[in-house]
C-alpha cells in the first residue's frame, strides 16, 4: 500500500473506495457527512434515523452506490463521541479501515479525516495515527499456511484532511506512521515465527539484513567471542541447547547526533522450556515469543535509522534457547556474570534476567545517558497487571517521565512499580553474591532488584511486557496473537530524546 496526502472533495474522482467517519449521536452532529449523504440519496441519514448505525466507536457500515457518487464502494466508520477525541480514536478508525480492506477489495482508497482543533489533536498526530491504524489493522501472518487466503489491498491510499492547510502536517505524520507501524508489524512477524525457524542464528541474520538495508552498524558475537568476554550467564543458559548463542550489538548514529547516548537492551530467548525448572506443557506453547523484547529493540533501532533521527542509540540483544539436556545448567549452579557478580541459580526458568545481566553489564561499559531494557520477564507482571498494561521500574524520575510521555503517544500503557532496596534482601545468597530467584513472594519486584545489580550508576528503566506481547482479546487495530507491544513505545522515546 502506498500512502499519499491530498485534500479531496467527495466529487473528486479517482478512488474506488471512499471511507468516511461518523461521530456517535444523531446525524445532525455529523455535518461533514451531509454532502456524502446527498450523493447517496439520504442513505446515511436514514441509517441514523432508524438507529441501524449511530457512529459508535469501531462500528462500520458498507455501502455500494448504484450511481451518482464517483466511487464504487463507501465505508462509514464509527469514531465514538466527539468529546472523547484523541489520537488513539483516530488510530482505531484506521484499524477498522485496515481490517475491512481485504474484504472490500478496492484498488484505490480515499480516507477522509476529522477536522480537529490543533489544541486537541495536531495534524501530524492525525496523519501518524491514521496510518498506523490502517497498517496495523491490515496486518496478517499467513506465511505458514499451505493455502493462504488471497488478500487484495489497495495499491494507493489517499489521506484527505478536511482543510487544505492541514495537508503538510498530516503528510509529515503519515511518514512517521508508516515507519512506526512497520516496526510494530515487524515485531509481530518475528514473534510469530516458530522456534524451529527463528533460532538465535536466524535472528542475527535478520539484524544483519536490517542493518545493511537501513545503514547502521551491526556486530554479531558468536560463542567464542562471548566466551572471551566472560559472559557466564548467557553461556550457562545456552548450555542445554545445540543452537549456538548470539550477542548482537546494533549501533545507529544519526546526522547531527548529539553526544548523549541511549542504550536499549532486549531479552532474546528464542525458545524457553524452563530448563530443569521445566514449564508445564500449556505454559510452553507460546515460549517461541520469549524474544519479544529483543524484537522490539531491533525494530526500534531500525526505525530510528529509517527516520534518520538525530540521535546516537545502541541496541544490545543476548539471544539463546533455554532447553534441557545433559549439558544444561542446573538449580544450585553458581555462575559468574560479565561484571563479575556471582549468581546462585535457584530457578533455571528465571533465565531471562540472567542473559540480561550480561547485556546490562556490557551496556554499562558504553556509558549511556539512558539505559532501558525490555523483556517478557515474569509471569508475576501478568498476574499483577493482567492484559492491560506493562509494568516498569525506573531509578530516575526524568527518565520515567520521558517513558510515560512516549507511552501516552503510542497508547501503550505502562505502570511504574517500586524499586526499593528492601527487595535486594530477598535475593541475597549464602553461597554467592546474589541468587537469580527468590520464589513467588514479591517476584515481580525482586526480578528488577536482581537486574539493578548490573546497571552500574546509569539512569535505567526495566520494562516487563509479559502479558502484553500477545493480545488475547483483539481490538480495532491489533488482532488476537502477537501484538508487537513496545516497538512504538521505544520509537516514540527515541523520537523525543
- Write the DSSP assignment of 389-448 as a string of letters: -EEEEES-HHHHHHHHHHHHHHT--EEE----THHHHHTB-SSSSEES---STTHHHHHH
Q: What is the mean pLDDT of residues 408-416?
A: 97
Q: What is the mean pLDDT of residues 210-222?
A: 98
User: Highest mean pLDDT: which of 98-107, 114-123, 150-159, 243-252?
Assistant: 243-252
116 band by pLDDT with thresholds 50, 70 and 90: confident
Q: Yes or no: say if 322 and 351 are a contact pair by the CB < 8 Å rule.
A: yes
11 band by pLDDT with thresholds 50, 70 and 90: confident
Question: Is 279 one of the catalytic residues?
Answer: yes
Options 105, 279, 330, 413, the catalytic residue: 279
Lowest mean pLDDT among 36-40, 177-181, 322-326, 493-497: 36-40
> Residue 295 pLDDT > 70, yes or no?
yes
Structural domains of the chain ordered from first start:
2-162 (3.40.220.10), 182-496 (3.40.630.10)
pLDDT at 258: 87
Nearest to 360 by CA among 395, 408, 310, 324: 395
- Angle (deg, nearest 10), helices 87-104 and 123-138: 40
> Residue 1 pLDDT > 70, yes or no?
yes
- Angle (deg, nearest 10), helices 167-192 and 292-306: 150
pLDDT at 217: 98
> Residue 409 pLDDT > 70, yes or no?
yes
119 band by pLDDT with thresholds 50, 70 and 90: low
Question: Is 353 one of the catalytic residues?
Answer: yes
> Residue 225 pLDDT > 80, yes or no?
yes
118 band by pLDDT with thresholds 50, 70 and 90: low
68 band by pLDDT with thresholds 50, 70 and 90: low
Q: Yes or no: say if 60 and 98 are a contact pair by the CB < 8 Å rule.
A: no
> Residue 205 pLDDT > 70, yes or no?
yes
Q: Yes or no: say if 160 and 195 are a contact pair by the CB < 8 Å rule.
A: no
Q: What is the mean pLDDT of residues 56-75?
A: 89
- Could you tell me the pTM of the whole model? 0.96
Our measurement of the distance from residue 292's CA atom to the centroid of its chain's CA atoms, rounded to an integer in Å, reads 9
Q: Mention every residue, 6+ apart, whose C-beta is less than 8 A from residue 213.
A: none
328 band by pLDDT with thresholds 50, 70 and 90: very high
Which three three-digit cell numbers place residue 446? 525482586
Options 122, 353, 402, 435, the catalytic residue: 353
Which sign does the torsion angle of CA 459, 408, 140, 150 carry?
negative
Of all residues in the chain, the percent with pLDDT exceeding 70 is 99
Mean pLDDT over all residues of the chain? 95
180 band by pLDDT with thresholds 50, 70 and 90: very high
Amino acid at each position: 500500500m502506498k500512502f499519499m496526502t491530498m485534500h479531496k472533495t467527495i466529487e473528486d474522482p479517482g478512488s474506488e473506495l471512499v471511507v468516511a467517519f461518523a461521530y456517535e449521536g444523531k446525524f445532525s452532529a455529523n455535518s461533514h457527512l451531509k454532502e456524502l449523504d446527498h450523493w447517496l440519496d439520504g442513505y446515511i441519514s436514514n441509517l441514523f434515523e432508524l438507529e441501524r448505525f449511530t457512529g459508535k466507536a469501531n462500528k462500520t457500515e458498507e455501502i455500494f452506490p448504484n450511481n451518482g457518487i464517483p466511487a464504487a464502494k463507501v465505508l462509514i466508520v464509527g469514531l465514538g463521541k466527539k468529546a472523547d477525541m484523541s489520537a488513539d480514536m483516530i488510530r482505531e478508525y484506521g484499524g477498522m479501515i485496515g481490517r475491512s480492506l481485504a474484504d472490500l477489495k478496492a484498488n484505490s482508497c480515499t480516507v477522509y479525516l476529522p477536522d480537529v482543533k490543533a489544541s486537541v489533536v495536531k495534524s501530524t498526530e492525525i496523519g501518524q495515527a491514521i496510518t498506523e491504524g490502517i497498517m496495523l489493522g491490515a496486518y496478517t501472518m499467513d506465511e505458514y499456511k499451505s493455502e493462504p487466503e488471497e488478500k487484495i489491498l489497495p495499491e494507493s491510499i489517499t489521506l484527505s484532511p478536511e482543510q487544505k492547510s492541514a495537508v503538510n502536517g498530516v503528510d509529515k505524520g503519515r511518514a512517521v506512521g508508516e515507519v512506526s507501524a512497520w516496526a510494530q508489524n515487524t515485531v509481530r512477524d518475528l514473534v510469530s515465527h516458530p522456534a524451529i525457524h527463528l533460532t538465535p542464528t536466524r535472528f542475527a541474520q535478520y539484524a544483519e539484513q536490517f542493518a545493511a538495508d537501513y545503514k547502521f552498524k551491526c556486530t554479531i558475537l558468536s560463542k567464542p567471542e562471548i566466551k572471551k568476554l566472560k559472559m557466564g550467564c548467557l553461556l550457562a543458559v545456552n548450555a542445554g541447547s545445540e543452537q549456538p548463542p548470539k550477542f548482537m550489538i546494533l549501533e545507529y548514529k544519526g546526522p547531527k547526533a548529539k553526544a548523549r547516548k541511549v542504550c536499549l537492551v532486549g531479552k532474546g530467548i528464542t525458545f524457553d522450556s524452563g530448563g530443569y525448572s521445566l514449564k508445564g506443557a500449556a505454559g510452553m506453547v507460546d515460549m517461541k515469543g520469549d524474544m519479544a523484547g529483543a524484537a522490539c529493540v531491533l525494530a526500534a533501532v531500525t526505525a530510528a535509522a529509517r527516520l534518520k533521527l538525530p540521535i546516537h542509540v545502541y541496541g544490545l540483544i543476548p539471544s539463546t534457547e533455554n532447553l534441557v539436556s545433559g549439558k544444561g545448567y542446573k538449580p544450585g549452579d553458581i555462575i559468574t556474570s560479565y561484571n563479575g557478580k556471582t549468581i546462585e541459580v535457584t530457578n533455571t526458568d528465571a533465565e531471562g534476567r540472567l542473559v540480561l545481566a550480561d547485556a546490562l553489564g556490557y551496556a554499562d561499559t558504553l556509558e549511556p545517558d539512558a539505559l532501558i531494557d525490555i523483556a517478557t520477564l515474569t509471569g508475576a507482571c501478568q498476574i499483577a497487571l493482567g492484559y492491560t498494561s506493562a509494568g516498569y521500574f525506573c531509578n530516575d524520575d526524568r527518565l520515567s517521565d520521558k517513558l510515560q510521555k512516549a507511552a501516552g503517544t503510542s497508547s501503550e500503557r505502562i505502570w511504574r512499580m517500586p524499586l526499593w532496596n528492601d527487595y535486594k534482601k530477598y535475593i541475597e545468597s549464602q553461597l554467592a553474591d546474589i541468587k537469580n530467584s527468590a520464589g513467588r513472594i514479591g517476584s515481580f519486584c525482586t526480578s528488577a532488584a536482581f537486574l539493578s545489580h548490573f546497571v552500574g550508576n546509569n539512569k535505567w528503566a526495566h520494562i516487563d511486557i509479559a502479558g502484553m506481547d500477545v493480545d488475547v482479546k483483539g481490538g480495532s487495530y491489533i488482532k488476537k496473537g502477537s501484538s508487537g507491544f513496545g516497538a512504538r513505545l521505544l520509537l516514540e522515546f527515541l523520537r523525543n530524546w
